[in-house]
Amino acid sequence: MPMSSPILQASDLQKVYGAGESRFHALRGVSLDIAEAETLAIVGPSGSGKSTLMHVLAALDRPDGGTVRFRDQDLGALTQRELDTLRNREFGFVFQQFHLDEGASVMENVAMPLMVGRIPRRDRREAVLQALEPLGLEGRIDERAGNLSGGQRQRVAIARAIVNRPRVLFADEPTGALDQENGEKVARLLFDLHEQYGLTLVMVTHSGELAERCGRQVSILDGRLSDPASTTMEGAR
């Protein structure tokens, strides 16, 4: 059955850290198609290469071999500047440890991708309010990020991730630093964003429960996908 072309397509990815004695082969030929608007969990034991794979897919890091294509564009053919622009426009990021500037306001944190994308100052506040609104944080816009609770901080990080209206949201252990209740709230928000905007969601997680809620899971072990049949989009929704 013909399928629409994938939004992301990784082919035979290799990633090697270090050299000599400390050389470590973290990705050993990973091929993976990701369909537009699917929800994908990348699972596997600690140190298996999950974050490395996510970073390479998201153009945060370049592979040492193989290719990543975004909408048929070979990311390896782009200059660093072109890659940075594409990442800022098309991808949003949520990390376990939030990575907020705690001394800055919610407004300043969420506006960061808009500044990188050279959106004029006069348009930023409205865009930030729109991003905060579905997360229930528009009333906190002028608060210092460091004054917020962990769950609220992760919601600010999600607002920052969606403020540029990206097509793909990458989340690395998004609920890992949160208690059960706040983790559930954040998980629900991520799936709501997928439903509302058709965002493609790519999530690295240790949580079997979170992974189960994704349309598809791929499992990585020692830098290889453990079930090669899972690399196509048959299971995508």
Ligand X SMILES: Nc1ncnc2c1ncn2[C@@H]1O[C@H](COP(=O)(O)OP(=O)(O)OP(=O)(O)O)[C@@H](O)[C@H]1O
- The CB-of-18 to ligand X minimum distance in angstroms stands at 5
Interface with ligand X, residue 46, by CB under 6 A: yes
Give 36 or 61: the residue with its C-beta nearer to ligand X. Answer: 61
Q: Are 42 and 218 in contact (CB under 8 A)?
A: yes
Our CB check for ligand X shows the closer of 97 and 149 to be 97
User: Is 39 in a helix, a strand, or coil?
Assistant: strand
Near ligand X by CB under 6 A: residue from 9, 39, 48, 88:
48
Which of 9, 39, 51, 200 binds ligand X (CB under 6 A)? It is: 51
Residue 52 near ligand X by CB under 6 A: yes
Min separation Cβ 216 and ligand X, Å: 18
The residue within the footprint of ligand X, chosen from 49, 113, 166, 174 (CB under 6 A), is 49
- 93: part of which helix (H) or strand (E)? strand 91-95
Nearer to ligand X, 55 or 124 (CB): 55
With respect to ligand X, which residue has the nearer C-beta, 44 or 166? 44
- How far is it, in rounded angstroms, from Cα 169 to Cα 201? 5
Please tell me the total number of residues recorded for the chain in this structure. Answer: 237
Cβ atoms 75, 84 nearer than 8 A: no
Q: Report the C-alpha gap between 4 and 24 in whole angstroms.
A: 36
Q: Containing H/E element for 210? A: helix 208-212
Judged by the rule CB under 6 A, the positions of this chain that interact with ligand X are 17-18, 24, 26, 44, 46-52
